[in-house]
Each structure stands twice: as C-alpha cells, then as structure tokens.
Chain A
Amino acid sequence: MDLTWERAVAQKTGTVDAVVVPITQLKAGKRGTVVRLDGNSGLRQHLLEMGFTKGTEVEFIRQAPLGDPIDLRLRGYRLSLRRAEASAVIVAPLD
C-alpha cells in the first residue's frame, strides 16, 4: 500500500485521521500514533498495560531477519512482538 499517496488524498479530502493501518504495515524506521487496539480483550489489555494507549507514538524499528517478530519503540523503551499480536495495534502513520 502506498501510504504517502493515500495520505495526500486524505489530506485533500480533509479525512487525515481516516488513514489507519496495523503497525506491522509501517516501513522499518517509520512511526505512527496508536488509534485503537484490535484483538481479543486479553491481548488488548496486555498491550495497554505495556503502554500502547491511544495517542502513544510507536516506532517500527525493524523486523527480525526471518521476518518475525518485530522490534518496536514506544515510551522510551523497546519491545518486540510477533506480527500476529502486533497487528492488533492500529496506528495513524506519522511520517
């Protein structure tokens, strides 16, 4: 998905906040702010307590060499999650 293009469209149409993606779809080195959490309530609560609250800035640092898990930074610390779980974190891309 070409995020920049979608963002441009969204900006023109005044629906900036409408573009949200699972954090797993960000490119390495890109950031996003948490919009909501999907997944079952156990997972949501776990993610919340680790700091993925609404509005939190999260950076996708890299994926593991074999593609999974991924390495994230939020609230000044680094957490690695499997893609299956990380995809519950829905973000609005920042840059």
Chain B
Amino acid sequence: MASCCSDTDEIQAPIGTRRFAVVGNPNSGKTTLFNALTGLKQKVGNYPGVTVERKEGTLRVPSTGQSITLVDLPGLYSLTPRSPDEVIARDVLLGRRCDEAKAEGIINIVDASNLERNLYLTSQLLDLGLPMLVVLTMNDIAEQGGRRVDEAALSAELGVAVTSVNVRKKRGMKELPDLIAQLPVDLETPRTVQYDLPPLVVDETAELRDLVLQDQPGKSPSQAYAEAVTLLMTDEVAPEEARRYSPDLLSHIRKDKATFASGGIDYASVVVESRYGWIESITGKVIERFGPSSLPGHKPVTPLAERVDRVLLHKFWGYVIFFGVMALIFQAVFTWAQYPMDKIDAGKEWLATWVVGHMAVGPLRDLIVQGVIGGVGTTIMFLPQILILFFFLGLLEDTGYLARAAFLMDKLMSKVGLHGKSFIPMLSSFACAIPGIMATRTIDDRKSRLVTILVAPLMSCSARLPVYSLMIGAFIPGKYRGLTMIAMYLLGVFAAFGMAWLFKKTLLRSAPPRFFIELPPYHLPAARAIIMQMLERSWLFLRRAGTIILMVSVVLWWLSSYPRHPELPQSEQLTHSYAGTLGKIIEPAIAPLGFDWKIGVSLVSSFVAREVFVSSMGTIYAVGDDEAKLGNSLRNDSMFSPLLAVCIMIYYVLAMQCLSTVAVVKRETNGWKWPLFQIAYMSVLAWVVTFVVWQGGNALHLGQRSIHAPPPAAVTMSISGLGAQR
C-alpha cells in the first residue's frame, strides 16, 4: 500500500538507456570523476521541494557508441540520513522517490587512502542487492603512505568488480566506460554478506524484512532488508516517514525495539560494529604495505597533510595565512572583477547606443534600451564577481583547505549559533550577496544554512559602494571619509551577526549543529572540475535569477517611464511617473527618517540594483551621470545635511533593496516564505535604526548645518553612536 508512487506517475527511464547512480563518501573524488565521465553533457537542477542539487549526465561508451545515464547523488557517509542531501540519496537508492527513475545499478566511488570508513557505506550499498562497480580513487595518496589496495583481492571479498582510476593523470579512465557498460542487468543470485550478528538481531531483521515486503510488494528482498535495517537503526520513525508504512509494521518495529532493549542489545551498535568488524577482516587481506612503513618496528611517518597542518592550523600562522587567503579572494572579487565589469558595462552602453541608432523612436525602443539592456545588463555585471568567487571556492574545496577554514572559524561562528562553514558565504557577500547565498550550499544543517541566507545581504555589497561614495563625497569632510566608510561596513557586519544570533535564539532555534567535518588530505586541484563547477553555478544564476530580473526590470522601467508627459523636460519625467507618484505615496512612511519623496523615488528605483540610487538622483536633480555635479546639487539642497547623508547610508546598509537577491533566495529556499520574511525584517530593521539615528541626531541638533562647514565632530558622533544602539 504505502509505496511512494502509483504506477502511472512513476517516471520511466527511456527504453534502452541504462541508468546508474554514482554514490560515494564526501571527499572521495566523486564529483571530479562524474565530471570526467560525463563532460558537459549534464543536467543540473533541484529535487522538487528541497534544495538538494540533482545532477544527471550522459556517458558515451566509445567502444559501442552506447549512451548510459549517470545520476550523481550527494556525497554521503551512510544510508542513515542526517542532512537533506543524505535523505535524497537514500530515497533514490531505496527506490522511494517518484520523480526519479530507479537506478539499475550503483557505481560506488571509494577513497583508497581512507578505505575502512569508505567501505562502511559500501557494506550498506551491497545490502541493496543491485549490480555494482567499485571505483577506487586517491590511490596515489594511499601509496604515499606506503599502502596499496589489491583490486583483485578486494573484488573477491566484496563479490563485485573493482577498478582503480586517477582522473587527473587520466589513468584507468579509458577502461571505465566499458566496465560500467558491462555491469549485469540483474543479479543472478542475491549477495549475502555474512556479518557477525547475535541470533536475535538476525531473526528480527529477517522478520521485519518479510513484513516490509508484504507491505510494499514492489521491493526486492535485498532492498526490503536494507530498509528493515534502517528502520531498526532509527530511534523514532519521523512522522513524514511513518506515512509510508502500515500501522502493523510500525507497531512491529516498536515491539522489536522493546525486545532488543530488554535483551540488553543496542541494535545500532551491534549492526555498525558487525559491519566494521567485517571491514577490518577485509582490509587486513587487501591492503599491501610496502616501503619503510612495512618493516617491523617502524614508527609510522607523519602524513604530509599533518605536517602542512602544523603551519596552516597554527595558533598564529594559521590565522595569518587564513586572513591572507581571504584578503586575496576579497581583493580578486573586488578589483580583478572590475576590468571585465567595466567591459560588460561598455558593452551594455554600446548595445544601447546601437539599438538607439537602429530603431525608430518609440516606447519599444525605450523598453529595450532602458528596461531590458539597462536592467538585465546591470545584473550581468555581477557575473565576473560570481565567476571569480566560485573559482576560488572550488579551488579551496578541491585542495582540502575549505574544511580547514571551517575548523579555524567554527568557534567564532558558534558564538552566534552558526557553523564554521557559514564564514565563507558571509565573506563573499561583501562582494555580492548572490554568490554568497549560493555558497551556503556547503552548509548541511538546514537551519544554520537558512540563518546564513537571511543575514548575508546585511554585509555591505559592492553595489552599495556608489551610494556610500556619493554621500560621503558630498557631505563628509576629508579626514572622516575613510572612517565613515569603515563604520558603514562594520554596521553591516554587526547587524548580520546580531540578527543571526537573534534568529538562532528565536525563530530558527535548534540544537547547535553537529560539526562533523572531515579534514581530507591535501591534493592538487583538478582544474577541469573546478572550472566546470564555476560555469555551472554561473549558468544557474543567469538562467534562474535572470528570468525574474528581466521581468522586474521591465516593470520598474514601466513604472518610471509612464504615464508619458511629452510636454515635460526629461528631468521632470521621472517625477511625474508612477514611480514618482509612488515616491510621494511612501513619503509619509519615510518622512520620520528625514527622507522626502525624491529620495523615496530613488529608493523605489533602487530595487533594480542599489547603485541605481545615484543615477536616479541624477535624473531628479537634472544633472545626468555627473556625480560631482550631483554632489554639488545635493549640497545646495537645504534639506540635505551630513546627518541625512548618514541616515541614507544606514538605510542602505540595512534595507533589502535588491530584487536579484530576492530571486536567488527564493530559488535557494524553494518558495516565497523566506524571501518575503527577509524583505520584511530588513525593512523594519532599516527603518527603526534610521529613525532612531535621525530623530536622535535632530534632538541633539546635529541636523542643523551651515552649508560651507559641515560639523565634522557631529557626524562622527552620530556614527560612533551607532554602536550604542545595537
């Protein structure tokens, strides 16, 4: 009864194409191998309802011309799931997902330098009774440690084919497609691994297997056995899981658990220990030792990674290097990206000019030039930053340094309830929140990831910089400019950490996330895999976020261009448009912050991208693109004061004004709930803080000014005063 799908909605693989799941531990080189096998013939998406990436690729077997579909499952340590990734992987392997055609067989990637722990998952996969190929990776690292895995012996022990590859040196890669193609369609005889288990455990597991088979007839006996083990391992069957099973089955599980408890048997311990016992008996037979380490009485050499870690995880040098690496990335994202960004900007201008020259005057031309090219072009300008950031993230991950970074930063991040892995997404958000939010995918714990996504846009991104420069340039005296700029960045950092702490205490309260992070050996990165991942992420950004951004840009263009007033000069057009009207409508709401409708209009148009504030103010003050002139005009407007400039900046630090970010958050959280919540909380935060500063500043008479000599002391006071308000 409780099988996951009816026959009609089950997705069938196209006839004639075989499907295999690629499964392995994290850090086993699985993704590198998958990329090498499938090249660019990949489809990347999400599993519906969860933010787990779904990757599928096509392998062409050169010798036969046959195509094979490979599904890259998220890395996992065991079939007992602890993260959404692992739930998906298990469900696919147990044939529980309707939206995923069943895999015919398994390609199990096993790290030869970490054989014992990798074989734990292998032992669980063997239970599934599917055709299977074991691919050994990292043989070079194993050999550096004086160990070699005997493929033939391992194959004999496991009862499945075993092969070795080295993707970077292209060793074993030519034979691999044929080995995969040669996997049998079905196993003739089910495999039975003999674990050393107490009779009671053997009997009860077999009994439950039979019940699962009765309950869910489509399953093979091996799959039912694997499911029975999983059910008995789990403490409490989760409510959403329980729906799959009949009440009889569930009560039987409870009875079994009571039996084990009264017999003094800890089912999980017994099962896991028997598997590791089996593994130890195998590794004793298949690992050959050579070199000095094989001599009796030899003291094992400290592995290279540990010697490197003496420096990289050192109390002092560890942080010096860490912050050096972070500064390099930051620098790269900020300044190296500038050149291609300028090029894109120039290309955008060129395209706009070309369209203007080749199209008749009219609303369609305006739509294309201002709406499409202007709006989408502004977003594409972030692409270089995204590419560079993901290149570095891939490099850090592939070499093994990312895990060390999490190790170094975890204590600090745990102070606000976050995870060491949250650090890099937060740092990336200084460049742009979009790649930062996309980088949260490395965080397994759902709530920690969500909190990181929620606070990441508080870090001052590069699009805020033009707003800060305009305001600081026009109103802050020379010697306080740098200080003011730093204060704005710090305000964002403190707000992000403060809100993270608050969310973890209230809305997203959870036990501190478990920090089980493997520190893998260092290895040379596979350039191809890094570049492919970088391109993949960028393409996702362009495709998914791009469509929403296009739509929004067109809407905003329309709001700021209509209704048409041909009789008015260009500079008045915006004032009398819907956006202008909107600015006047929201004026009562922003008046307590010292903002008038002109700023209101610019706030509205900032939703395309924050830096649009500058061009929008330029249009209103009829000075066009000239920032120096705009600064002068603002100084001559009696409404503006250094206090107001600071208030505008504070508002820009804290408010959610970037629709591209909203689009990405929607995509990453799979729904509108969290992006809408994020807009709400950031708007409230921005309003309240700006209100307090503006009203407080005025109460202290900081808002009054003399045009030629803005009171510098007053400005810094209001900035340093910010610290006290949080």
Residues of B within 8 A of A71 (CB): 309, 313, 407, 519
Q: Are A76 and B410 neighbours in the complex by a CB distance under 8 Å?
A: no
Option from A44, A46, A66, A75 in Cβ contact (under 8 Å) with B117: A75
Measured CA separation A89–B117 after assembly (Å): 17
Residues of B within 8 A of A66 (CB): 408, 411-412
> Which A residues, 63 to 88, have Cβ-Cβ distances below 8 Å to chain B?
64-69, 71, 75-82, 84-85
Known contacts A43-B514, A46-B82: does B407 contact A61 (CB below 8 Å)? Answer: no
Q: Are A79 and B517 neighbours in the complex by a CB distance under 8 Å?
A: yes
Residues of A within 8 A of B408 (CB): 64-66
Known contacts A44-B268, A68-B410, A69-B515: does B273 contact A49 (CB below 8 Å)? Answer: no
Q: Are A49 and B78 neighbours in the complex by a CB distance under 8 Å?
A: yes
Known contacts A71-B519, A79-B519, A84-B512: does B268 contact A64 (CB below 8 Å)? Answer: no
Kindly provide the distance from the CB of B149 to the nearest chain A CB, expressed in whole angstroms.
12
Measured CA separation A82–B316 after assembly (Å): 21
Nearest A residue (CB) for B271:
A48
One of B95-103, B108-116, B452-460, B484-492 at the interface: B108-116
Measured CA separation A22–B444 after assembly (Å): 26
Q: Are A77 and B114 neighbours in the complex by a CB distance under 8 Å?
A: yes
Q: Are B319 and A50 neighbours in the complex by a CB distance under 8 Å?
A: no
Measured CA separation A49–B80 after assembly (Å): 9
Kindly provide the distance from the CB of A64 to the nearest chain B CB, expressed in whole angstroms.
6
Residues of A within 8 A of B80 (CB): 45, 49
Indicate whether B314 reaches chain A with its CB closer than 8 angstroms: yes
> Which B residues, 283 to 317, have Cβ-Cβ distances below 8 Å to chain A?
305-306, 309, 313-316
Kindly provide the distance from the CB of A58 to the nearest chain B CB, expressed in whole angstroms.
13
Measured CA separation A39–B84 after assembly (Å): 23
Residues of B within 8 A of A41 (CB): 235, 268
Indicate whether A42 reaches chain B with its CB closer than 8 angstroms: yes
Nearest B residue (CB) for A43:
B514
Option from B268, B315, B318 in Cβ contact (under 8 Å) with A45: B268
Kindly provide the distance from the CB of A88 to the nearest chain B CB, expressed in whole angstroms.
11
Measured CA separation A82–B520 after assembly (Å): 17
Q: Are A50 and B276 neighbours in the complex by a CB distance under 8 Å?
A: no
Indicate whether B262 reaches chain A with its CB closer than 8 angstroms: no
Indicate whether B259 reaches chain A with its CB closer than 8 angstroms: no
Contact with B along A29-69 (1 / 0, CB 8 A): 00000000100011111101111011010000110111111
Most chain B CB inside 10 Å of its own CB: which residue of A46, A48, A51: A48
Chain B residues bordering chain A, tally (CB within 8 A):
42
Residues of A within 8 A of B306 (CB): 61, 78
Q: Are B116 and A64 neighbours in the complex by a CB distance under 8 Å?
A: no
Residues of A within 8 A of B117 (CB): 50-51, 75-77
Q: Are A48 and B519 neighbours in the complex by a CB distance under 8 Å?
A: no
Option from B269, B316, B407, B520 in Cβ contact (under 8 Å) with A64: B407
Residues of A within 8 A of B512 (CB): 82, 84
Tell me the total A-B contact number using a CB cutoff of 8 A: 109
Measured CA separation A78–B305 after assembly (Å): 10
Kindly provide the distance from the CB of A52 to the nearest chain B CB, expressed in whole angstroms.
9
Residues of B within 8 A of A49 (CB): 77-78, 80, 120, 272
Contact with B along A4-30 (1 / 0, CB 8 A): 000000000000000000000000000
Measured CA separation A75–B319 after assembly (Å): 29
Kindly provide the distance from the CB of A34 to the nearest chain B CB, expressed in whole angstroms.
11
Indicate whether B414 reaches chain A with its CB closer than 8 angstroms: yes
Q: Are A79 and B268 neighbours in the complex by a CB distance under 8 Å?
A: no
Kindly provide the distance from the CB of A18 to the nearest chain B CB, expressed in whole angstroms.
21
Option from B268, B305, B319, B516 in Cβ contact (under 8 Å) with A81: B516
Option from A54, A68, A78 in Cβ contact (under 8 Å) with B414: A68
Q: Are B77 and A64 neighbours in the complex by a CB distance under 8 Å?
A: no
> Which B residues, 57 to 82, have Cβ-Cβ distances below 8 Å to chain A?
77-78, 80, 82
Kindly provide the distance from the CB of B361 to the nearest chain A CB, expressed in whole angstroms.
64
> Which B residues, 402 to 420, have Cβ-Cβ distances below 8 Å to chain A?
403, 407-408, 410-412, 414, 420
Option from B235, B319, B519 in Cβ contact (under 8 Å) with A42: B235
Option from B273, B305, B410 in Cβ contact (under 8 Å) with A54: B273
Q: Are B515 and A64 neighbours in the complex by a CB distance under 8 Å?
A: no
> Which B residues, 113 to 144, have Cβ-Cβ distances below 8 Å to chain A?
113-117, 120
Measured CA separation A56–B116 after assembly (Å): 12
Measured CA separation A45–B113 after assembly (Å): 24
Measured CA separation A78–B414 after assembly (Å): 21
Kindly provide the distance from the CB of B333 to the nearest chain A CB, expressed in whole angstroms.
26
Q: Are A69 and B411 neighbours in the complex by a CB distance under 8 Å?
A: yes
Measured CA separation A53–B277 after assembly (Å): 9
Measured CA separation A46–B77 after assembly (Å): 10
Measured CA separation A42–B80 after assembly (Å): 10
Measured CA separation A79–B514 after assembly (Å): 12
Nearest B residue (CB) for A64:
B407
Kindly provide the distance from the CB of B142 to the nearest chain A CB, expressed in whole angstroms.
9
Measured CA separation A54–B276 after assembly (Å): 10
Nearest B residue (CB) for A47:
B516
Q: Are A80 and B407 neighbours in the complex by a CB distance under 8 Å?
A: yes
Measured CA separation A51–B78 after assembly (Å): 11
Known contacts A67-B411, A71-B407, A76-B114: does B515 contact A62 (CB below 8 Å)? Answer: no
Residues of A within 8 A of B314 (CB): 65
Indicate whether B233 reaches chain A with its CB closer than 8 angstroms: yes
Measured CA separation A72–B233 after assembly (Å): 26
Kindly provide the distance from the CB of B668 to the nearest chain A CB, expressed in whole angstroms.
26
A sample of 22 cross-chain residue pairs with beta-carbon separation below 8 angstroms, ordered by A number, consists of A41-B268, A42-B235, A44-B268, A49-B77, A49-B80, A49-B272, A50-B117, A51-B116, A54-B269, A54-B273, A62-B309, A65-B315, A65-B319, A69-B420, A69-B517, A71-B313, A76-B113, A76-B116, A78-B306, A79-B517, A82-B414, A85-B515
- Which residues of B approach A to under 8 Å, CB–CB? 77-78, 80, 82, 113-117, 120, 233, 235, 268-269, 272-273, 276, 305-306, 309, 313-316, 318-319, 403, 407-408, 410-412, 414, 420, 512, 514-520
- 14 extra interchain contacts, Cβ-Cβ under 8 A, other than A41-B235, A68-B411, A75-B116? A41-B268, A43-B514, A49-B78, A49-B120, A53-B272, A54-B269, A69-B515, A69-B517, A76-B114, A77-B116, A77-B117, A79-B516, A82-B512, A85-B516
Closest 5 CB pairs of A and B: A66-B411, A75-B116, A48-B272, A78-B519, A65-B315
